[in-house]
């Protein structure tokens, strides 16, 4: 029997009550509100620029590039051995990006 396209790959199985994939997609596209981002960063002593490792004069392109690199590095799926730290860092990175791009 021929192998199917997704045979051997982990996929999300939503048949067991994990939600509708369309709802997941729309929830993923929602951005963090400015107020939520401020609340997260008020607990930190870093600025959004220092969290992303960029200068205060960074362009939108530089901000986006720094965000993508850091969120890829700190994504909880890639840091299973330190999941709590990865979740905390991901929230900080998303909050910093949200504040800098919502201005």
Residues in the chain: 103
Would the CA dihedral through 35, 36, 42, 45 be positive or negative? Answer: negative
Domains of the chain: 33-101 (1.10.287.110)
63 pLDDT band (50/70/90 cuts)? very high
Of the CA atoms within 13 Å of residue 33, those in its CB half-sphere come to 3
Query: What is the separation, in whole angstroms, between the first and last Cα of the chain?
Result: 56
User: What pLDDT is attached to residue 72?
Assistant: 92
Kindly tell me if the per-residue pLDDT of 24 is higher than 70: no
Contacts of 50 (CB under 8 A, 6+ apart): none
pTM over 0.75: no
| Contact between 40 and 92 (Cβ < 8 Å) | yes
């Amino acid at each position: 029997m021929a192998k199917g396209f997704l045979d051997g790959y982990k996929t999300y199985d939503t048949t067991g009550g994990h939600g509708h994939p369309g709802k997941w997609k729309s929830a993923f596209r929602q951005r963090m509100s400015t107020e939520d981002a401020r609340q997260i960063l008020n607990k930190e002593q870093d600025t959004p620029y220092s969290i992303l490792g960029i200068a205060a004069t960074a362009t939108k392109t530089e901000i986006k590039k720094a965000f993508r690199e850091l969120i890829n590095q700190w994504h909880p799926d890639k840091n299973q051995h330190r999941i709590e730290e990865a979740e905390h860092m991901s929230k900080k990175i998303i909050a910093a990006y949200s504040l800098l791009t919502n201005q």
